[in-house]
Amino acid sequence: LLNENEIAVEKKNTSAIYISHGAGLWVAEEKLNKKTSFSYRLYMDPGGSLPNFLIDLINKTSVVNIFEDAIAEAQNRYLNRN
């Protein structure tokens, strides 16, 4: 933790692409038979550093991973609830 007089300086990796603009949104909708539909929308702008076909490929893979991680976390919380 920093106090108000300290400045955090991170050394940036010059071979990495940093995203300065992005947003994500989860939406949960109650459906019939006590079921819930979840959707996730993600916006990221790498600022022209990556070609569009690569961004599309990364997004298709990443969103699957996000859902798998969310399901795993929900199962973990359900199994470890007290």
Report pLDDT for 5. Answer: 62
Q: Tens place of pLDDT for every residue, the chain, 82 residues?
A: 556 665 555 667 777 777 777 788 889 999 998 899 988 887 777 777 788 888 788 777 777 888 888 889 989 999 998 7
What's the whole-model pTM score? 0.46
Contacts 24+ apart (CB under 8 A), 16-23: 17/46, 17/49, 17/50, 19/44, 19/45, 19/46, 19/47, 20/45, 20/47, 21/45, 21/47
Which pLDDT belongs to residue 9? 53
